[in-house]
Each structure stands twice: as structure tokens, then as C-alpha cells.
Structure 1
């Protein structure tokens, strides 16, 4: 956590600003936007909410860091709150990491991720293979020009999604990952670390709640209450027999039978279900009132 001093009013303001940003991300995901469209929505929302001047000032960076760690406490108390925070913070991280250019190697080093770009000699050796991969997935019209970005040699089991999509060159058990695809590795590690940190925070919450009973704990509980209030309004609409894509996260934990909650959880965690599981969940979603168009959007965005 950052070592800075902020007045209570400033802490409240920066937390509410970040919560607004996370809500924008959550609503955009519920619409089933494609990756590029989602990044555009996050960029616009972040500029309007977090950095109105267009660039990050030192003060805004400090407030951004403080809001992240405080909302960890606000959203650590239940599995549902942790899942909401983790999912939307992960999307925010992917957006910010995609904007990194020269700072990627430094970020990896600072965060203990043992990846470094391969040397020029090795890059030249595998260049024809990298060009073929790029052409096959249509990442660039001119393979020779685009392949010259930094590439990282990574154990293939750490990038199974890229291997499955044939988006990387494999040799001797290693995948050659272009910097533009590095988010597949880094994003997964950051998500896992944040998930563990939220569980640790939940264990520490009772002592924090007691120590900050007159100040911080009430405010943090209010932050998560605002999120829950939005979901309650969505539940009332669902009672009339129609369910929208935006309502599913709340309904999954509160109203789904255990078997469907389990399938939904596995799908959320792994972005994959076996064929029979997909059929069962699809029929269930149809039965509770999810429209055909929104059902297509639901499966397309996984």
C-alpha cells in the first residue's frame, strides 16, 4: 500500500471515484462488448473520472493507489463482493497494461515475474516461424514488420489459451510470446495475486473493523452497500419473469440452484465448460427468461 497521508474526505472521494469506474466497467462487460470496444469504454471512463487533465499527476496516482487498497477492504468480506471487485479490477489492469510500451520489462522486474525479451540472435533464428504465426492469425498484414517487437520465451503451460488459439510459436516446450500478447501471462498472475490478497484481507477485516469502528469501517461498508443496492434493484426486475445479462452476476449467487451456480462459477473461472455443461446452463438461462440475443452475447463474450 502507498505511504501517503490523505484527509478522510479525500479518501472517501477517491474511493467513490474508483467505484464509479468499476461500475462503468461492469456495465460495459454486461453489454457483451468486444475487447476493443471495452477498452475504449474504459479509456473514456478513466479519463473522465480519474484523470480529467488527460495525464496522471503525482497526486492523482497516489489517490488511485489509495483507492485500490481501500476498496480491497470494502469488497473483501464476502465471496460475491470479492468476485465483483476481482473481475472489474482485472479488466482495469488489462486496459492499463495494454498502454505500457517501454515500461513492460521494468514492470515485470518490479513484480517478480521472471520474463525477459529474447536476444536479437535468437529472434532472427525463429523469425520465419513467428512471421508464419502472425500471418495465420491475421495480427498484421506485414509479418516482417510486426514481428520485430519484443518476444518472451515462456513455458508453454503458462499460456495454454494462446497455444489453444495457435497464436504463438512453440519449440522445445517453450512458447515465443510477443509483447502484445503478454497480458495473457501477466493478467493471470495479477488476478491470482489479487485473489489471494482479498482472502487475506477478509481474514484481517474483523480487526480492522474493530480498530476503525468510528471512522473507516463504516465508510467501507457503505461502499459495498452501494454496489449491493444496484443488484437489489435488478433482482426486483427479475421477479417479473425477464432476466437481462447485467442481472446474472447477482442472481447467480442469490437465486440459482447449486448445480447451476457451480456451472456458472466454473464457466466464470475457466472461460470454458464441457459440451453437456454448456447445454444444461444454456437451457437453464433460457428457462429463467434470458432472451435469445442476450444469450448469444453471453456465450460470445466468454
Structure 2
């Protein structure tokens, strides 16, 4: 499952219809879950004192996911990697990275990388911090083993388009009844465009394994536009393209906040990580990271 599909399935992001209303208390309708069984209480190196003593912080990032996290040769790179290094620097330790694949659900990713560990490797595979965790107050109620904190950016859906194909008007979803548009398979954009207006755009929605490939298809002239997260679109823009963020009728959420996930047993670590991210937002070190990758930075709602 792609990361976009994973998050859409969890939050209903990208699905048509109104967003759930949690005006007063987002946890009001949630019944606390049974405590997890057979979850080790002996994770090594998770608490803040132990991290400081050993001199490094372990960080889980998604593999092969530019511009957020990827290997530049053998060196970890990307926005999430650089932000994790800022966190580690603030703590006075080194950042060490585990590149992980997205599971079937965000719950599974958090279980495997934050609070329990996978079936093979168990607690030894748990990281101190997991980057790029979507924040949703209602979802946070359901996963009691994780502290959702350190919000560091807002991701927004956008449309990139070929300037020559649209010399005057910028394309909006209704245009794709007649024009071709590239999307990552099973992503938020795919769900949205394939169901919008009763599926009238479905024939013109062209699917690609990754957003990188959708942007490459736009560059090659295979499609007239591409839709996806703004940062991934920015990463693939060429001089022949433009990008905008149009209204998306019927979409529950076109923006979502991203932060980190930390094991609920280690609140002091969570507080320290959040403080580090807040400081880096205030002095614009995080904005500078986005600038260095040629990306648009939208601050988070904190």
C-alpha cells in the first residue's frame, strides 16, 4: 500500500463527503481499548536518559520516499531526515536512521516502529521517533500507545500542469473530464479524482506507481497535469510546468498536519522532541530545509 493510500484509509482523507464533526471532544465517542497483550516492557534505549547516555537517537523514516526520505548514494537525505538531525542536534546526540516500508495501515506502522516492533525482530526494531506521522485528534484517541507530537509541516494537495497546455486557465478537477491527469496509484488524489462527479474523470486518470513517475510522465507529455502532495510535486517541477492549489469540491480534507510518533511510555522524550521542533520552526531552520530542496513550506497548525 502506498503512503497516500495508508493515510487516506486511516483518516478518510481524500474521500468524498463531509468530514466527521468533533466540535467539542474528538475522543467523546471512543471507548478505550484493551491493553495490548504480549507487548514487551523491556525496550532498550527508549527513555531520554538512556538516549543521552549512549549518544544517539534512532529514527524511523519511510524508504525511497523523495523528497522526504531517501538514500543519496549511501547517505540518508530528505526533508524528514534533515528535521530528525535537527532534533538530535538539539538533544546533543547523533541521529541514526531506519528506513521502513509503509504497512497496510498507519496503526500497523506505529505498532511496528514505535511501540511494539514487528513479529520478527520485535522490540529491537522499535525506533525512538517516527517521522511523517499524520496528526488527527480523533485518530490519536484510538492509538493510546503513541504520543502524537512535534507537528512540523502541513501537506497540501496540488495540481501541476504543463504551461503550454494551459496558457490561460489553470486546470481544476472538472477539466479532467476531457484532459489527462497523472496520479500515484491508490493515493488520495487517485481516490478523489476517480470518484468525483460520479466518476466522470475516471477514464482520463492515468496511474503510476509513484508520484515521481507521475511527474516524469507530465514532463514527457504523456499527461497534461498531475495531482498529488505539494512537496512531491515541487520536487518534480520543471521550467515548463506550473503548480497551484485549487479548491477541491467534495474533498473532506485537502490539507493535513504531519508530525512525529513516540512511544507513550517516554513522555520526557516526547516533550524534548516537540521543544526541538518548535524552536526550529520559530527560527526558520525547518523552513530553510524546505528551501534547500526547492519546496514550498506551509507551517503546521500547532
Which structure features the higher share of helix residues? 1
TM-score scaled by length of structure 2: 0.29
Higher relative contact order (CA 8 A, sep 6+): 2
Larger Rg: 1 or 2? 1
